[in-house]
Structures are given as structure tokens and as C-alpha cells.
Amino acid sequence: MALFGIFGKDPAAKPAAEGVAPWSKVWNVPAVGCSPSFHLRHRGKSKVDDAVLDDLEEVLVSSDVGVETTLTIIERIQTRVASDKYVGTAELNGILRAEVAALMKDPAPIDLAKKPYVIMVVGVNGVGKTTTIGKLAHRFHTAGHSVILGAADTFRAAAVDQLRIWSERVGVPLVSQGMNADPAAVAFDTVESAKAKGTDIVIIDTAGRLHNKINLMNELTKVRNVMRKVVPDAPHEVLLVLDASTGQNAIEQAREFTAATEVTALALTKLDGTAKGGVAIGISHQFQIPIRYLGVGEGINDLMPFDRTAFVEALFKGN
Ligand SMILES: Nc1nc2c(ncn2[C@@H]2O[C@H](COP(=O)(O)OP(=O)(O)O)[C@@H](O)[C@H]2O)c(=O)[nH]1
Ligand SMILES: [Mg+2]
């Protein structure tokens, strides 16, 4: 099933065009900081030379793309400029879009033949895990799939309450053992309950506040292993949530979490604020992890499936 296929039953979510329309709408919001920063100078120049590439490098780095990915992009463009007979600055934007889109991978399709399909959501505190889970549950639910949530972030009472509020709002069940419960036990119960009831999708919230990498790794491994006692290939998705407005910090978090567990996809949140969208390119490329969702607000519908072509178009719009 294609990525958008799972949303196919939702009348509000038309598969093919979905990534395009709302995204460009979002990108028209003046507060979004990335579009202007991608504006290329040297528009009057006809030829791509070192000065143009230096400027491009500066623009990419200052747009949170990250040094490593920026250098890759510049190298690729240099190769094309050298091999093509003549590349003018007018063509540069087209080449840039193509090269940037090529750096990012598409996520593997969600295989709902696996029942329950288990999604474990990870990330540090405050990035938007619980909110993303609420939005995601709503999408699956309105698309006609049954969903159950597991409150395995048991560090704070507020975290459990927040997920409960989302579950009530969306109208899906929640498994919780309250604050300070063993996260692995909560995850186990949730998956077991889903299996018993024939639920389609399980979404497990986890705690982001762990003192160090070893703790984090142990905790996530424990949660994963315990779920595998019920569903041997769970979790089918480990979704790392990153706050796009934190720039290089988000890259550091991606480094920590990919070292601690096998992350299969990313959700980038808070792209409605001051976030520079370039961070999406850097993280996806550097860690070779596809982006699956974008968070564009605090509301229940403020989640978009990621479409790299539409994203790159929106990012470079106006150049
Ligand atoms: N503007 C905006 N705020 C968001 C978005 N996603 C989450 N938030 C807010 O970020 C804060 C932290 O979110 P929460 O889901 O509690 O993060 P968690 O600690 O990772 O579970 C809350 O105030 C959310 O409403 C988003 O895409 N855009
Ligand atoms: Mg939370």
C-alpha cells in the first residue's frame, strides 16, 4: 500500500495533491523563515561560477541544512556544472531542487496487513511526541482504522493525562497504568490488548527524559523486546519526533536516538513557527532516514504526510 493509501478513506485527505496544497499554504505564512533565506543572489549573473556556489553554500548553511549536507549539494552541483557544457544561474534553481530532492529518501509504505501495526514514538521532551500521536491517531481513525494508544511516558502525571485527553478527543482507547509505571509493562499491555481486540494500529508514547545514552538505549530496548513477546516483528515503525525550530539541536538528537535504537522514520514538528525547513534536508540526508510527517500547528489536523518534491518546491519557491 502506498504511503498515502492509508489515508485514502479520509474524504478530507486526497492522496496525490495532499502534500502540495496545504504545504504551500503553510509556506505562504510570512512567519515561516526559510523561504526568503533561500533567495539566491547573483540573479543578474548568467554563469554559475565559484562566487555563485560560495553564496549558495552560505545560504544553505544559514538555512539549517547543515555543513555536511551542504557540501554534498555543492559537490553535486559542481559535478553537473563541469559535465554540462553551460549551466546558467537561471538553471541553477532547477538543478538545486532536483539534487536536494534526490538526497532524501521516501519512507517505506505502511503495511497495514500487519495487524496490529505497532508504532513506537521516541524523542526528547517537548518536541511534540504526544501531540503528534494525537494527530496521527485522528488521521488513522478518520481513515477508518482502529487505533489504541499506550501511555508509556510514565515519568510525569501530566504526560499520561495529556495522552488521555487526546485519546478522548480522537475517540480511541488508551492503555495506561498511571505515573511511574514500568513503560515496558504499559507497552506490553497495549500490544496485548490490540492483539486480543483485533486493533489495526498501536501507537506507543515514550519518555524523552533519560539521563544518558545507555539509559535511553536500555529503556527503548526493553520496551521493544517486551512488545515482541506478543508481536514478534514489533515495532514496525520507530518514529523519531524532532522539533524543526531547534535547528542543529535536532541534528544532535537524531544522532543520539539513531545510536540508541533503530529509527525508521521522522516526524518534524513546529514548521509553522520560525523553523527553517532546511533542517529537514540535513537530517534526512545525514542519517538516511525518511521523513514521514510534518507538524504544522497544535491543532488536530495540523499534520501532513511528507512529500519531498512538494517540500523542495515550497522551500525554493520564489527563487
Ligand atoms: N506550533 C506548534 N506547536 C506544536 C507542534 N507540535 C507540538 N506542539 C506543541 O509543543 C508543545 C510540546 O508538545 P508535546 O506533544 O507535549 O511534546 P512531548 O513532550 O514530546 O510529548 C505543546 O505545547 C504542543 O502543543 C507543531 O507542529 N506546531
Ligand atoms: Mg509527551
How does DSSP assign 261-287, residue by residue? S---EEEEE-TTTT--THHHHHHHHHH
Asked whether residue 127 carries a pLDDT value surpassing 50, the answer given is yes
User: What confidence tier does 10 reach under pLDDT thresholds 50, 70, 90?
Assistant: very low
Q: Is the CB of 135 under 6 A from ligand 1?
A: no
Question: Average pLDDT for residues 116-144, to the nearest whole number?
Answer: 96
> What does the block give as the cell for 254?
537524531
The beta strands (E) that lie in the chain are given as 117-122, 147-152, 174-175, 201-206, 237-243, 265-269, 291-295, 303-305
- Which pTM does this prediction carry? 0.86
291-300 pLDDT, tens digit each: 999 999 999 9
Largest CA distance in the chain: 66
Pocket test for ligand 1, best of 23, 29, 120, 131 (most atoms within 8 A of CB): 131
pLDDT computed for residue 229 by the predictor? 98
274-309 pLDDT, tens digit each: 777 888 899 999 999 999 999 999 999 999 999 888
Q: Which ligand is nearest to the CA of 132?
A: 1
191-220 pLDDT, tens digit each: 999 999 999 999 999 998 766 778 888 889
